[in-house]
Amino acid sequence: MTDMVYGSVPVRDGDPILPRWWRTVDKWTISCVLVLFGIGLLLGFAASPPLAERNGFGHFHYVERQAAFGAMALVAMLVVSMMSPHLVRRFAVLGFLGAFLAMALLPVFGTDFGKGAVRWYSLGFASLQPSEFLKPAFVVVTAWLIAASQEISGPPGKLWSFALMVSIVLMLALQPDFGQAALVLFGWGVIYFVAGAPLAILFAIAGAVVIAGSVAYSSSEHFARRIDGFLSPEVDPTTQLGYATNAIREGGFFGVGVGEGQVKWWLPDAHTDFIIAVAAEEYGLVLVLVLIALYAGIVVRSLLRLTRERDPFIRLAGAGLAAMFGVQAMINMGVAVRLLPAKGMTLPFVSYGGSSLIAMGIAMGMLLAFTRTRPQGEIGEILRGRRL
């Protein structure tokens, strides 16, 4: 009866890992990710050649690099998805320690590549953004701490996770990278909410965020400029946001045609942060709706599979990863249509970027590992185990 209700499948001792993985993994989510990556390559052929030409590279230099980074991301996703939840947790703890240390050393060894925010390490052949790898690891570590705090005589995991969140948000704000800071805060808030946090605490945190935003607006020219641009009743047509808004308007329902778009010649970030503007201009609202459906499908399907999960750690970690994935996509598209202030955030699996692609592959692998179908056990056995 338990298997019928929770959809678990039998797992035989000594069963080879690949057949067992294939039977238990969510194939629809993998398919959606592959389609997103394919659309990203398609848009890369349209968006990146003008930038490659300006920088003196081959016509499809950035497309080739995106294909290479994407291949590494997909391999990382598949490998991580084959891990058990306990192994994913250990992997995340080690990754969190490494990424946290790398972020702490950014002011000393990092670079801003002329963008005004010290977020990257220059490796010569590529760049590395530690915050991209920190996000999924932080979600898993937070879920572990909060789940452990719910056990009898458990550690003060909620307090520890809050201290880690505040430390990370402060480091990101000092870069400055307010978009990633907001995403980390959101991920922590989702896990805390799913774990049963009192609404009073969440409202208090929201109030603190408003106060912190007011302080940042008065003390950071970078932050104030973006907020002022967002609140301005008119958009400067010579800014990235102006070009993106005009491109989306010109695209209409079916787009202006493949290769006929003009925004890619003016936007320096057309292949990264504003890739959705290229999609809307050349392929129209149709492709944008397809992208929204793919992101929504991954998030909703993952959350539905997690409702069958009885392990608190798996449920919390999976919910945090799914929510963070969906919100990052929503923020990227929201900025392009001027629903949100500019954040400098990539569109998952579609935008160009080595760190973001590989880190998103690891995050999706973790989510797939947590949403794999597994025997849940009889409820009586679980209750007896908690009393022991």
CA distance 272 to 222: 20
Cis ω on the peptide bond leading into residue 176 (within 30° of 0)? yes
Point out which residues pair with 388 in neighbouring strands.
Answer: none
Please give the pLDDT value at position 364: 97
CA distance 66 to 50: 15
Please give the pLDDT value at position 238: 63
Please give the pLDDT value at position 233: 66
SS3 sequence of the chain: CHHHHHCCCCCCCCCCHHHHHHHHCCHHHHHHHHHHHHHHHHHHHHHCHHHHHHCCCCCCHHHHHHHHHHHHHHHHHHHHHCCCHHHHHHHHHHHHHHHHHHHHCHHHHCECCCCCCCCEEECCCCEECHHHHHHHHHHHHHHHHHHHHCCCCCCCHHHHHHHHHHHHHHHHHHCCCHHHHHHHHHHHHHHHHHCCCCHHHHHHHHHHHHHHHHHHHHHCHHHHHHHHHHHCCCCCCCCHHHHHHHHHHHHCCCCCCCCCCCHHHCCCCCCCCCHHHHHHHHHHHHHHHHHHHHHHHHHHHHHHHHCCCCCHHHHHHHHHHHHHHHHHHHHHHHHHCCCCCCCCCCCCCCCCCHHHHHHHHHHHHHHHHHCCCCCCCCHHHHHHHHHC
Q: Which has more confidence, 198 or 6? A: 198
Please give the pLDDT value at position 236: 62
Identify which of 110-119, 269-278, 297-306 has the greatest average pLDDT.
Answer: 297-306
Please give the pLDDT value at position 235: 67
Contact yes or no for 343/331 (Cβ under 8 A)? yes
Contact yes or no for 369/85 (Cβ under 8 A)? yes
Please give the pLDDT value at position 4: 39
Please give the pLDDT value at position 198: 78
Instruction: Give the residue-averaged pLDDT of 347-365.
Output: 93
Question: Residue 78, exposed/middle/buried by CB under 10 A (0-12, 13-18, 19+)?
Answer: middle
283-305 pLDDT tens trace: 999 999 999 999 999 999 999 99
What average pLDDT is seen over the chain?
Answer: 85
Instruction: Give the residue-averaged pLDDT of 8-15.
Output: 53
Please give the pLDDT value at position 250: 85
Residue 328 has pLDDT above 90, yes or no: yes
Residue 53 has pLDDT above 70, yes or no: yes
Residue 69 has pLDDT above 80, yes or no: yes
* Among the listed residues 302, 305, 279, 309, the one whose alpha carbon sits nearest the alpha carbon of residue 292: 279
75-87 pLDDT tens trace: 999 999 999 999 9
155-183 pLDDT tens trace: 899 999 999 999 999 999 888 888 899 89
379 pLDDT band, cuts 50/70/90, is very low
The predicted model scores a pTM of: 0.88
If one counts every other C-beta atom within 10 angstroms of the C-beta of residue 277, the result is: 30
30 pLDDT band, cuts 50/70/90, is very high
Contact yes or no for 49/43 (Cβ under 8 A)? no
246 pLDDT band, cuts 50/70/90, is confident
Please give the pLDDT value at position 101: 96
Token output for 87: 């192994």
Location of structure tokens 């949403």: 371
Q: Which has more confidence, 259 or 5? A: 259
Please give the pLDDT value at position 192: 92
CA distance 160 to 57: 47
